[in-house]
Amino acid sequence: MLIKTHRDGFMHPVSSEITPQAVYRDRRDLLKLMASGAAGAGLASWASRQAFAQTARPGKLAPLPGAKSNVAGAVTMEKVTGYKDATSYNNFYEFGTDKADPAQNAHTLKTSPWAVEVEGLVKRPTRFALEDLLKLSTQEERIYRLRCVEGWSMVIPWVGYSLGKLIERVEPLGNAKFVEFITQADPKTMPFVGSRVLDWPYVEGLRMDEAMHPLTLLAFGMYGEVLPNQNGAPVRLVVPWKYGFKSGKSLVRIRFTDREPKTAWNKAAANEYGFYSNVNPNVDHPRWSQATERRIGEDGLFAKRRKTLMFNGYEAQVGQLYAGMDLKKNF
């Protein structure tokens, strides 16, 4: 469903969050990478058999297993959203504005070869091929909640490692205060790039301490497999305490800067989407309440609403990042 508002001639569709999607081609070139050692650690024992059962891979794409994460808060024991739901209800505006569009259209995305440029205020600017990114750190499986702005949420087992591992490698300069994330914008393979919905390419940003927090994930897979195209293949960001649109998909450039980046949704509608975009049930979206939510895949519109948790339930881990800030002003 596409919801539009008219404001001074601006037509603005609602963003929910960028949740990964797809079940397309079997990328066997990535399968070879998994045997390199850094990427293929094998699924480790979980805290309970229930958690392991929830995250069993669906066998749709090339396997990408992850070891158990030791990061505090990285694994929730909540019921995992079904793979079909997580890969068919997505925001990826490069492939359409309806939630079902990415799963239908993202097969055109070309994910090999792929590289990510890291530039800006760093000592070691580097162009990382995908295989080099995969080797930077051991892959971990983390079960994160993900919150959509329209009042829906998911629980997804991601595979990747803390973004901080990459940041440490490139050695940011002392005046680097923010990290900007630029995503792929190829009109030949992304049919909605060039539309007037957003200013392309899609750009997101984090403060340096947010980017360095161990929960911030550079993700290459989900459900024990490589990312489906519609879910942001081949590499994306996942910031679990923020609304999903902060987690840029199909990353091609990471830039370190001394200025707050101008992000896609903030440029489109600054009064609705602030730079921080932390999940805060006490700050309503101008057109709906954020105090409660429903889980994707649980009885649809009849699903029981649950109370929205501050910072999406990660307050103990990240609340100190915002100590002393006015979280209603800095939304």
DSSP secondary structure string for all residues of 263-305? -HHHHH-TTTS-SS-B--TTS-BTTB--SEEEETTSSGGGSPP
How far from chain centre, in Å, is Cα 305? Answer: 23
Domain assignment present for residue 163? The answer is: yes
User: Please, which residues have CB within 8 angstroms of residue 28's CB and are 6 or more apart in sequence?
Assistant: 62
At residue 57, the pLDDT reads: 87
At residue 228, the pLDDT reads: 98
pTM given for the model: 0.85
What is the C-alpha to C-alpha distance for residues 223 and 151, in angstroms, rounded to an integer? Answer: 23
Domain assignment present for residue 329? The answer is: no
Tell me which amino acid residue 282 is.
Answer: N
- Number of structural domains, the chain? 1
What is the C-alpha to C-alpha distance for residues 156 and 142, in angstroms, rounded to an integer? Answer: 8
Contact 226, 62 (CB under 8 A): yes
Q: What is the pLDDT tens value at each position of the chain, 331 positions in all?
A: 333 333 333 334 443 333 333 323 333 444 444 444 444 433 333 333 344 445 578 999 999 999 999 999 999 999 999 999 999 999 999 999 999 999 999 999 999 999 999 999 999 999 999 999 999 999 999 999 999 888 899 999 999 999 999 999 999 999 999 999 999 999 999 999 999 999 999 999 999 999 999 999 999 999 999 999 999 999 999 999 999 999 999 999 999 999 999 999 999 999 999 999 999 999 999 998 999 999 998 876 677 899 999 999 999 999 999 999 999 999 9
At residue 54, the pLDDT reads: 53
What burial letters (b/e) apply to 115-134, b meaning 16+ CB within 10 Å? ebebbbbbeeebebebbebb
At residue 302, the pLDDT reads: 74
E strand spans, 195-283: 203-207, 217-222, 225-226, 236-238, 251-257
Q: Position of tokens 């490589």? A: 226
Question: SS3 of 180, please?
Answer: strand
Domain assignment present for residue 330? The answer is: no
Domain assignment present for residue 328? The answer is: no
Q: Position of tokens 């596409």? A: 2
How far from chain centre, in Å, is Cα 84? Answer: 18
Domain assignment present for residue 327? The answer is: no
Domain assignment present for residue 101? The answer is: yes
Structure tokens at 93: 């505006």
What is the C-alpha to C-alpha distance for residues 105 and 91, in angstroms, rounded to an integer? Answer: 12
Domain assignment present for residue 83? The answer is: yes
At residue 163, the pLDDT reads: 98
Interstrand relation of 217-222 and 225-226 (parallel, antiparallel or unpaired): antiparallel
Name the residue range of residue 162's domain: 4-322
> What are the respective helix, strand and coil percentages of the chain, to the nearest 5?
20, 25, 55
What is the C-alpha to C-alpha distance for residues 172 and 267, in angstroms, rounded to an integer? Answer: 26
Structure tokens at 121: 């205020």
For residue 201, cis peptide bond before it (omega within 30 degrees of 0): yes
Structure tokens at 140: 């971990």
CATH number at residue 268: 3.90.420.10
What is the C-alpha to C-alpha distance for residues 97 and 258, in angstroms, rounded to an integer? Answer: 33
Q: Position of tokens 């393979």? A: 189
